[in-house]
Amino acid sequence: MITYELIKKKRDGLELSRAEIAFLVDGYVDGRIPDYQMAAFLMAVYFRGMSNRECLDLTMCMLESGERIDLSPVAGFKVDKHSTGGVGDTTTLVLAPLVAACGGTVAKMTGRELGHTGGTVDKLESIPGMQMEMSKEKFIQIANNVHVSLMAQTASLAPADKKIYALRNVTATVESIPLIASSIMSKKLAAGADGIVLDVKTGAGSFTQRYEDAIDLARTMVNIGQNAGKKMVALITGMEQPLGYAIGNAVEIREAVDTLDGDGPPDLLDLVLELGSHMLMMSAMAPSLSAARKILQNNIDNKNALQKLGEFIQAQGGDPGIIRDPRLLPQPLEQIEIRSERSGYVEKLDALEVGMTAKILGAGRDTKDEGIDPSIGILLKKKIGDRVEKGDCLAVFHSDGNPEKIVPARQRFRAACTVSHRKVDPPRLFYARLSEDAIEEFGA
């Protein structure tokens, strides 16, 4: 095969065979195909797209470039959950131990911060002693004993995706549905779960801001997973404003504890119960979604889920004492209140801009090798639709006291948060559900 001819074929809108896609992926990984030719191919995909069959073939070729996690030693049905990223997306921290407390098994490889979205690994590592990098044997042992095990993605998992993503990131080809779907699903399939529940975000704080793009992405990923033999469900959920009240690392751990203790933000709890209901149904742990929701809520009310969180933390080397005493989590040097300059209602709270504000404060990385201060973040006090009086606290910055960060962060947050005399309803949280070929859209 000749790389030039394959680039031209895709440029002209023609389908590539599985063998042709494998030639491109394998050749790029082993260095036979240079960056400039792979970049040209990626741009051709960006403009011409891929068929469902091509998306599956690309996913499987990237998956086969590295190792797979064999979860067969873990008893029962193993379920995974993936979010396409958002701001204040504390979901996994609550959902994983909750599903395990209900009898399910969650064995999940998870990532670090990406762009303006926080990473579950970074959040969990704010717990003293917490180990997110471990051997596959340890990962499986914890999944069998505790029924919930989370670990950082390994470099040997879909290495082709890692190399191709780095090239996409510098060649303006990130925003391509086939490339996004194949990237996500190559890692999800390699991680070995039997079923996957997808939380595909739409709105200002998401990577697919247009609803139509979120539907397209969800449909593509569900199709890939089903053709690979996995049970699949996708929910389209809103990310116009941050989920919950906490944005950061240690602050989100505290919010997860509060939620499992029965005192969490309503929107975070609603999302966890919806996703968890599908995970229990998929695992044959409940006869219906309504029954699954009751099981989940009961395990919050009786504190079983909170206890399971402590077992999970202890099994992975962390200090479960943070559940009883949040002061054991990293504490900020300074807390700064951002107060409203007028009375009215919160009309807008741009999720993307709030996420970038947290990053400016130091809750995220500017480079991939940079460290994160886990104590830094934002605790929102008001959200869209809330009444505000002049002087009321809109948010609290958890800061290291550096004015070079605080001043621009304050400006960014004020631009993100609009208070006006117009009362608006909170933005929608649930838009649609996709399973197999069916799409069920929820009412506004």
pLDDT (tens digit per residue) in 50-106: 999 999 999 999 999 988 889 999 999 999 999 887 776 789 999 999 999 999 999
Query: Is 206 in the active site?
Result: no
> Is 12 labeled as catalytic in the residue annotation?
no
According to the model, what pLDDT value does residue 204 have? 82
Catalytic residue among 10, 78, 81, 82: 82
pLDDT of residue 179: 94
140 and 11 within one domain: no
237 and 150 fall within a common domain: yes
* Overall average pLDDT of the 186-192 stretch: 91
- Same domain flag for 154 and 281: yes
Nearest alpha carbon to residue 275 among 74, 98, 107: 98
pLDDT at 165: 86
Name the catalytic one among 183, 186, 277, 375: 183
CATH number at residue 205: 3.40.1030.10
Q: How many domains does the chain have?
A: 3
Among residues 57, 89, 122, 161, the one annotated as catalytic is 161
- Helix (H) or strand (E) holding 378, with range, is strand 377-380
Residues 346 and 217 in one domain: no
Residue 16 or 187, more confident: 16
The parent domain of residue 37 ranges over 3-49
Catalytic annotation, pick one of 187, 230, 254, 412? 187
Has residue 63 been placed in a domain?
no
pLDDT surpassing 90 at residue 269? yes
- The pLDDT assigned to 116 comes to 46
Share of the chain above pLDDT 90, in %: 78
Report the pLDDT value the prediction gives residue 436, as an integer from 0 to 100: 75
User: Which has the closest alpha carbon to 332: 205, 242, 246, 256?
Assistant: 246
Tell me, yes or no, whether 59 lies in a domain. Answer: no
Could you confirm whether 32 is annotated as catalytic? no
Are 99 and 22 contained in the same domain?
no
> Residue 444's pLDDT band (boundaries 50, 70, 90)?
low
pLDDT attached to residue 118: 57
- Rounded average pLDDT over 122-140: 92
The active-site residue out of 108, 147, 168, 254 is 168
Q: Is residue 300 part of a domain?
A: yes
Is 9 one of the annotated active-site residues of the chain? no
Residue range 333-356, pLDDT digits in tens: 999 999 999 999 999 999 989 989
Task: Return the biggest CA–CA distance within the chain.
Answer: 68
pLDDT of 217 above 50: yes
pLDDT at 365: 65
Q: Which residue has the tokens 């948060």?
A: 417
Same structural domain, 224 and 313: yes
- The CA-atom distances, in angstroms, between 391 and each of 120, 342, 382, 395 are 34, 7, 12, 12
83 in active site:
no
Q: What is the pTM of this model?
A: 0.91
Same domain, 249 and 345: no
Phi first, then psi: give them for residue 223, nearest 5 degrees.
Answer: -60, -45
Q: So what's the pLDDT on residue 216?
A: 93
d(CA 71, CA 193): 7
Q: Which tens digit of pLDDT belongs to each residue from 384-431?
A: 999 999 999 999 999 999 999 999 999 999 999 999 999 999 999 999
For residue 364, what is the domain's CATH number?
3.90.1170.30
Write down how long the chain is.
Answer: 444
Q: Is the pLDDT of residue 113 over 60?
A: no
Is residue 154's pLDDT more than 70?
yes
